[in-house]
Amino acid sequence: MLAKINSTILAGIVRRQPLSLDLSWTNLTSKQLSWLLPRLPQLQTLKLVGCKASTIGALQTCNCPLLTGLDLSWTESFCDDLIRCLLCKPSDSRPGQLESKTRLRYLSDVRLSGTLITDESLRHMNQNLPLIRKIDLSECHLITDSGIASLVIAKSDKLTELYMSGCSKITDVSLKLLRTCYSLEKLDVRQCQSITDEGCEKFLDPNHHYNDEDDQENNPHYSDQDSDHDDDDENIDRNNKQMNGKSKQIKSIVSSVRTVNNNNNHDGCYWQSLKERFFIKRRDMSPPPKTINEMNLILP
């Protein structure tokens, strides 16, 4: 049962002027959120886990604080249309100030686990959230390797944490691409049924050279992924064609990994740090830990 939010609670929140606010699993309405946001100008982190999609829409306003962290996990009926709406410029305006970009443009930590977003949402995030470093896509079953590829192309030098547990369409190909993200510190692939132990081992092996045969061996359906989107609108088709053109860039990046490392990291220091990363293997994490502190570093 959702916790009830009333005017007394909202007034108390405003008096406290918090930097971080958690209104998860409440009956918060769009009207209440619209009233609250302009009264919390210093707010940095907002959690609205389990709220209604109609409530989330209230964030698309010029009065929204310049948040750095936003958690919209398990939002009811949350899909690409809502992401597109949130990342557009505000529909309203304030006297003397006209916003030309989304008010969410300073987000560095976005959590969307359990939502219905697709690869299209990731592309919108890549274009409109330049500072994003941490992304939670756990249980987003419509996300594919194509979406991760677009993320790697746009954020390879910025991405530090990526959570993909339970993403059923993610394969070893994504691990191959993510190996080029040198800033990556945390990667969660628990319950990703299409990711193999062999793929995990290759990801952590400093002596392994990725090639096209890895794509065919570990993901026989990868070449057919574009066909899964035949019924999408013209914009999605256009984006998929762009991704096909960028796939060559991905292969070039992956093939040059060892060259870059040898030039910038003597004696394999980079690969040692890679093994020290927070890498979670599916078979070794059952049942899932309750807190992040209970997870252990797992190496092949």
* Residue 272 pLDDT exceeds 60: no
Strand order in the sheet with 278-280: 20-22, 45-47, 69-71, 109-111, 134-136, 161-163, 186-188, 278-280
Same domain, 239 and 297: yes
Same domain, 144 and 286: yes
User: Is 15 within the bounds of a domain?
Assistant: no
Q: What is the pLDDT of residues 147-195, one digit of tens each?
A: 999 999 999 899 999 999 999 999 999 999 998 888 898 999 988 999 9
User: Is 77 within the bounds of a domain?
Assistant: yes
Same domain, 124 and 68: no
Segment 21-35 mean pLDDT: 96
Distance between CA atoms of residues 141 and 13, nearest Å: 35
* Residue 106 pLDDT exceeds 50: yes
In Å, how far from its chain's centre is CA 52?
Answer: 20
Q: What is the pTM of this model?
A: 0.74
Q: What is the pLDDT of residues 36-83, one digit of tens each?
A: 999 999 999 999 999 999 999 999 999 999 999 999 999 988 999 999
* Residue 231 pLDDT exceeds 50: no
User: Is 57 within the bounds of a domain?
Assistant: yes
Distance between CA atoms of residues 269 and 237, nearest Å: 42
Residue 161, beta-bridge partner list = 134, 186
| Range name among 129-143, 216-230, 254-268 with the lowest pLDDT average | 254-268
Tokens of 140: 């987003």
Same domain, 121 and 248: yes
* Residue 141 pLDDT exceeds 70: yes
User: Is 7 within the bounds of a domain?
Assistant: no
Same domain, 195 and 291: yes
User: Is 11 within the bounds of a domain?
Assistant: no
Same domain, 185 and 283: yes
Please report the pLDDT score of residue 76 as a whole number: 86
Domain span holding position 225:
116-131+139-159+168-300
Which distant-in-sequence residues (6+ apart) come within 8 Å of 216 by Cβ?
222, 223
Tally of residues, the chain: 300
Measured from the Cβ of residue 281, the count of other Cβ atoms closer than 10 Å reads 18
Same domain, 264 and 145: yes
Same domain, 203 and 293: yes
Same domain, 191 and 273: yes
Tally of structural domains, the chain? 2
Measured from the Cβ of residue 42, the count of other Cβ atoms closer than 10 Å reads 9
